[in-house]
Structure 1
Amino acid sequence: MRNYLTEYRHELQRTFTGTSGTPPEWVPRLAEGHDAGYHLPGSAVWSVHGHVATIVAGIRVLLMQALHPGALAGVYEHSGFQKDPLGRLANTIRWIFTVTYGSTEDAQAATTRVRKIHERVRGTYVDGKGIQRDYAANDPELLRWVHITYADSFITANRIWGRPIPGGADAYVREWATAGRLMGIEDPPLTEAEVREELEQWYASGILRADERLAETVWFIRHPPLSPMLRPGYRILFAAAVASLEPRYQDMLGLRPPRFGPIPLPVITSARAVLGMVRLALGSHGPSEQAALRRLQRLGYADA
């Protein structure tokens, strides 16, 4: 059992960060820096991002973000998601964890790197009303869609599979608004109700679109190039992410939770078991969090 857990842990680490056995080079640097950063232990952001429910949230947010044809075009035409999807995942995780756990200098530098990459991501897309539009990855409109779907997915996944958030969901939205501002979003939502209201506005706008490109992307998200050891668990987590979506988004994505005849399969409960296995393999405190705690202790934060 111990050997299996070790191999399972290494496969998880390779998937999330591109390395196994030792953390990637950017993680130990989270122990450096000269301030507490944007978020502290006990915050809503630390609570949500430190839980394995973020794995389902990550799948869910990829599905949601793909519904905007401009966001999808940027990923489809410019990123290496098809040739190196795990590399793209590792880069996204690096930014999220650096903003969550790093110093303000590191968080700002990581965001600058992302925005610089976005500068060359430009093109055109056709929206749900058949109108051709220009897009750029740093456009406030696309950044806002990405930010809102992120907040919605992480709140939803945490509510189903996570733990109580200090200060509740509104505290998470308010705290993670800092990440939105770093990316250039003006007046990001500060409450869960505002997130829901903006999602309603997006749906009503007619911009969201289902087409062949979306179907191809959904297939790829459903069948990523994972190791055989991780595939059974991923199938369950993917089904759980689909089950957590509103039916209207499931319809647009061409997805439904699995059923045995008329009986829905218990994917929510099954996902809880898979996430428990992941936590057993990775531990309750990841290396990014531990590095941040070392920085905070060095700086004299008593609660660290």
Structure 2
Amino acid sequence: MSDQARRPDSSGSPSIAQLLTGRLRSKLAAGVTHLTSGSGPMLDYSSPPGDPGLFGPDSVCWKVHADFTSMMTGGISALLLQALHPLALAGVWDHSTFRVDILGRLRRTATFIAGTTYGNRHDALALIERVKRIHLGVTGTAPDGRPYRASDPALLTWVHVAEVSSFMTAHLRYVNPFLPVAAQDQYFAETARIAEMLGASDIPRSRAAIEAYLLAMRAQLVASERTREVVKVLMNAPAPSVAMRPAGMLMLNAGVDLLPDWAQAMLGFERHAVIRRALTRPGVRLVAPVVRWALVNGVSKRARRRVASGCDVDPK
């Protein structure tokens, strides 16, 4: 393409190439964000000026949660891991529409993570209170006869650890494999604050504590018929469009690949693990830069501008 095609014309209007590039970026951004938006409350990440939310831009969670691709694969991995806990699964089975709206569940989780990480303080606290109210109605009896309630502190800890451990694994694999252990520890300590506000107890707050917790929990995990049904529904989740189907399949398989080996074996994914690893890891590394380019106005960027704009506000 010539320099003339790249430059604005003499009137200052964008060139054809710039218009096409902008249109492509907008289309990609719309397709990507459709996977994780449109469910739950609408949040304003751009105001009020100067509001750092619950963590602020210097926190590790602002860095870890900023990459859409790693968070998407981590979220899928977390759902699969959570499904191995009989009581966590019972709540989803009895009180969720996952069979007909698995993308809705992903969107709701994404909204909560994004809102509590990057939202202003008022919105973040409102999201937490909203989820706590929902949890109060999620009660019942599991197939093994044990009662369950989503507000159970130990169960909340399991759900939290499955999420944050999966997000960190995805970040280390696809964003920054050299993140220092001290920064990882800080991430787990920061995000434990949200779990605590939801009512969790005995929350592991370091990488070593997370690993010890997962090891201790393995005896309680079961791959039941219900678990396999959830896996089937998730792995056959419809793409928002035909064009997004290849990327969707890549994300789903990358989520499986993030699981610990023992979890993959429990869920029946170990048979093709080597092939999956060989295809998904290079695939995600090719797709991720394109997604980052498309999300020029992503949530984390809007939040950073919100905090920075506070410096320009007249204190009077």
TM-score category, normalised to shorter length? 0.7 to 0.9
Instruction: Provide closer, same or farther for how the CA distance between residues 290 and 279 of structure 1 changes in structure 2, counting only shifts above 3 A.
Output: closer
Instruction: Provide closer, same or farther for how the CA distance between residues 101 and 121 of structure 1 changes in structure 2, counting only shifts above 3 A.
Output: same
Instruction: Provide closer, same or farther for how the CA distance between residues 135 and 9 of structure 1 changes in structure 2, counting only shifts above 3 A.
Output: same
Q: How does 1:162-173 map to 2 (within 5 A)?
A: 162-163=175-176, 165=179, 167-173=182-188
Shift of residue 92, structure 1, vs aligned partner: 1.7
Q: Please tell me whether the aligned partners of residues 165 and 172 of structure 1 are also in contact (alpha carbons under 8 angstroms).
A: no
- Which whole-Å CA distance do the structure 1 matches of 2:46 and 2:227 have between them? 36
- Which whole-Å CA distance do the structure 2 matches of 1:50 and 1:266 have between them? 24
Q: How does 1:217-228 map to 2 (within 5 A)?
A: 217-226=230-239, 227-228=241-242
Instruction: Provide closer, same or farther for how the CA distance between residues 256 and 6 of structure 1 changes in structure 2, counting only shifts above 3 A.
Output: farther
Shift of residue 290, structure 1, vs aligned partner: 3.5
Q: Deviations over 1:41-78 (max 9, x none)?
A: 13210000001311111111011011101111111210
Matched, 1:188 2:199: no
1:150 aligned partner = 163
1:253 aligned partner = 267
- Which whole-Å CA distance do the structure 2 matches of 1:214 and 1:290 have between them? 37
Q: Please tell me whether the aligned partners of residues 9 and 281 of structure 1 are also in contact (alpha carbons under 8 angstroms).
A: yes
Instruction: Provide closer, same or farther for how the CA distance between residues 85 and 239 of structure 1 changes in structure 2, counting only shifts above 3 A.
Output: closer
* % identity of equivalent residues: 34
- Which whole-Å CA distance do the structure 2 matches of 1:238 and 1:174 have between them? 28
Shift of residue 297, structure 1, vs aligned partner: 2.9
Q: Please tell me whether the aligned partners of residues 65 and 149 of structure 1 are also in contact (alpha carbons under 8 angstroms).
A: yes
SS at match of 2:147: strand
- Which whole-Å CA distance do the structure 2 matches of 1:210 and 1:54 have between them? 24
Matched, 1:299 2:306: no
Q: Deviations over 1:123-170 (max 9, x none)?
A: 1114xxxx5311011111210100111121011111100125475211
Q: Please tell me whether the aligned partners of residues 44 and 119 of structure 2 are also in contact (alpha carbons under 8 angstroms).
A: no
Q: Deviations over 1:18-39 (max 9, x none)?
A: 29xxxx9723255138842221
SS at match of 1:138: coil
Matched, 1:42 2:58: yes
Q: How does 1:8-87 map to 2 (within 5 A)?
A: 8-18=28-38, 26-28=42-44, 31-32=47-48, 35-52=51-68, 53-87=70-104
SS at match of 1:15: coil
Structure 2 stretches of 5 or more lacking a match?
A: 1-19
1:279 aligned partner = 292
Q: Please tell me whether the aligned partners of residues 60 and 183 of structure 2 are also in contact (alpha carbons under 8 angstroms).
A: yes
Instruction: Provide closer, same or farther for how the CA distance between residues 118 and 25 of structure 1 changes in structure 2, counting only shifts above 3 A.
Output: closer
SS at match of 2:142: strand
Q: AA paired with 1:195? A: I
2:300 aligned partner = 289
Q: Deviations over 1:181-222 (max 9, x none)?
A: 111113421101101101111003xx2111111111001111
Match of 2:123 among 106, 109, 113: 106
What TM-score comes out, normalization by structure 1 length? 0.86
2:4 aligned partner = none
Matched, 1:230 2:261: no
SS at match of 2:113: helix
Q: Please tell me whether the aligned partners of residues 43 and 123 of structure 2 are also in contact (alpha carbons under 8 angstroms).
A: no
What TM-score comes out, normalization by structure 2 length? 0.83
Q: Is the deviation greater in 47-56 or in 95-104?
A: 95-104
Q: AA paired with 1:66? A: A
Shift of residue 298, structure 1, vs aligned partner: 4.2
Structure 1 or 2, whichever has the larger Rg, is: 2
- Which whole-Å CA distance do the structure 2 matches of 1:263 and 1:97 have between them? 29
Q: Please tell me whether the aligned partners of residues 101 and 292 of structure 1 are also in contact (alpha carbons under 8 angstroms).
A: yes
- Which whole-Å CA distance do the structure 1 matches of 2:186 and 2:285 have between them? 24
Match of 1:199 among 194, 214, 222: 214
1:239 aligned partner = 253
Instruction: Provide closer, same or farther for how the CA distance between residues 34 and 222 of structure 1 changes in structure 2, counting only shifts above 3 A.
Output: same
- Which whole-Å CA distance do the structure 2 matches of 1:95 and 1:31 have between them? 18
- Which whole-Å CA distance do the structure 2 matches of 1:170 and 1:240 have between them? 24
Shift of residue 84, structure 1, vs aligned partner: 2.4
Instruction: Provide closer, same or farther for how the CA distance between residues 81 and 267 of structure 1 changes in structure 2, counting only shifts above 3 A.
Output: same
